[in-house]
Structure 1
Amino acid sequence: MTTSFYGCLFMCCVIIMLEVASVVLLLAIAVDRFLRVHIPLTYKSTVTQKRSWMVVAICWFTAALLSFIPMFGWHNYNTWNGTTQANSTSFECRFFTASSRSYVVNFIFFGFFLPPLVVMTGLYCYIFLTTRRQLRLNIGAATESRTYYQKEQRLAASLVLVLGLFVVCWLPLFLMHTIKLYGPKIEVSSLFIHIGVLLSHVNSAVNPIVYAFKIPKIKEEFKKLYMRVYHDGQQH
């Protein structure tokens, strides 16, 4: 695909934004689950619908702000044919011909992939330990509290699965580019790179399936949507 340099760079930034947004939103979900367990009595008054929408907006704004930094200078324009104008449409668009590998590895991977992953791991460990402790305290009792913590534990397990799939699909690609940046003498097969890219794309396809089958509310909405479409089809 040939385009202008900045046109190519813009498309690369959009791809990065989607990955960063995924991480930030997963972190927001983990914080939400943490609050459900940490402050169960005041959760509903603390996490209102208005505040939830504000958090979602902040997540997307943050992702866009971080991902479009290359448009302002952290890119590879000076490393390719400098005799060609930036607005020329003869630029062959590939991700790392436009994007800087140091930006992707040092800024995105080390700054906004690994730290949130560590935080999320800690939050989910806290959730599982807390729910397990509460269930032991209410063992043998069919109380509302026990039902609440059982539900939170099951939902947390489903979200950990989503997080695990995200890490499995994206971590290999980040690690390979880290090796290419800091170990230039180490040969990384293009086949492995392509597999890593494929895995990152697979994550986008797998997530809706996991959400649909593992998270009750989303599963219920999918069923309602299916029944609505089915009945509309029967009527026509």
Structure 2
Amino acid sequence: MPPVSAFQAAYISIEVLIALVSVPGNVLVIWAVRVNQALRDATFCFIASLAVADVAVGALVIPLAILINIGPQTYFHTCLMVACPVLILTQSSILALLAIAVDRYLRVKIPLRYKTVVTPRRAAVAIAGCWILSLVVGLTPMFGWNNLGAVQRAWAANGSAGEPVIKCEFEKVISMEYMVYFNFFVWVLPPLLLMALVYLEVFYLIRKPSLLTYIAIFLTHGNSAMNPIVYAFRIQKFRVTFLKIWNDHFRCQPAPPVDEGPPEERPDD
């Protein structure tokens, strides 16, 4: 095992601290969903799936990342098996976050039909799909998209035989073409952009009053405009008094006194 530098020691300390905070907090989330029946709907299933991924990140990915950072001497495929779980669980966290974003969008977009559209069964299928897709993406280097060819050529050039022994580092076993063109541009960046768009739409739907709200406001305010026509203008006394006000104050032509008439007068039907 190579010696650990001061920078690596700081890095390891921070990673260990993150793991110590991440694991108990996410275990508590899973425990709460497990013991409380009220937390069994689709939304909390997605949150529990994210918590499972985050527990695995703290308990497995961080120790493996520390190991890769130290760079021990290992066989090529041993190092590759150490690197792939990092890819799998990182991808599962991203897809779980996307699933939660879509779930919240549907809850706001179709609140009346949400329970019938997003059922626990469909949520379970979506969660399983996210994990299967994460396994496929993360295990792709194990199926051949890796740096084995370049490492073998360098190993053979040194006159060595058998499986190459290397300093276990992420970039030595994982192809950068895979990381950039397949992993990042296909399975990391698009979900993150889609999440941003979904949350912008959720914010827009929450902030923007619906058309029905505007209609209700117009009807309420319009009622105030129609009340004089519906009630006052249908009563003859009001009509005569309005005419007197018009003549006295706007046309400057005094009108004869208004006949008060009997107090029981009703609106004309």
- Among 72, 76, 93, the alignment partner of 2:168 is 93
**2:143 counterpart of 1:75:** no
For residues 48-63 of structure 1, the aligned pairs below 5 Å read 48-63=119-134
Please list every run of at least 4 consecutive aligned residues from structure 1 whose deviation after the TM superposition is greater than 6 angstroms: 135-139
Partner of 1:149: none
**AA partner of residue 109 (structure 1):** F
Is 1:45 paired with 2:116? yes
Deviation of residue 138 (structure 1)?
Answer: 6.5
What SS does structure 2 have at the residue aligned with 1:68? Answer: helix
Distance 2:84 2:132 in 1: 14
Question: CA separation in 2, counterparts of 1:30 and 1:134?
Answer: 21
Alpha-carbon separation, structure 2, partners of 1:29 and 1:21: 12
Name the counterpart of 1:16. 87
Q: CA deviation at 1:101?
A: 1.1
Q: What is the distance in 2 between the residues matched to 1:136 and 1:16?
A: 45
What is the TM-score normalised by the length of structure 2?
Answer: 0.47
Question: Which structure has the larger Rg over C-alpha atoms?
Answer: 2
Letter in 1 for 2:113: T
1:33-182 maps to which residues of 2 (within 5 A)? 33-80=104-151, 81-83=154-156, 84-86=161-163, 90-134=165-209
SS in 2 for 1:91: strand
Q: How do 1:178-217 residues align onto structure 2 when only pairs under 5 Å count?
A: none
1:176-219 residue CA offsets vs partner (Å, 9 max, x unmatched):
xxxxxxxxxxxxxxxxxxxxxxxxxxxxxxxxxxxxxxxxxxxx
Deviations 1:156-193 (A, max 9, x none): xxxxxxxxxxxxxxxxxxxxxxxxxxxxxxxxxxxxxx
Q: Deviations over 1:24-68 (max 9, x none)?
A: 111111110110011100111111112212211110110010111
**Deviation for aligned residue 1:12:** 1.0
Identical-residue share of aligned pairs (%) = 38
Aligned equivalents of 2:120 and 2:90: distance in 1?
25
Structure 1 residue aligned with 2:76? 5
Task: Give distance in 2, aligned partners of 1:85 and 1:25.
Answer: 41
**Equivalent AA in structure 1 for residue 106 of structure 2:** L
Amino acid at match of 1:68: L
- 1:50 counterpart SS class: helix
Tell me: higher relative CO, structure 1 or 2? Use CA pairs within 8 A at least 6 residues apart: 1
Unaligned runs of 5+ residues in structure 2 are: 1-71, 215-269
CA distance in 1, matches of 2:186, 2:162: 32
Aligned length: 137
SS in 2 for 1:19: helix
Question: Could you list the runs of 5+ residues in structure 1 that have no partner in the other structure?
Answer: 140-236
How far off its partner does 1:85 sit? 2.7
TM-score, normalised via structure 1 length: 0.54
Paired with 2:107 and 2:141, the residues of 1 have a C-alpha distance of: 37
Displacement, 1:13? 1.1
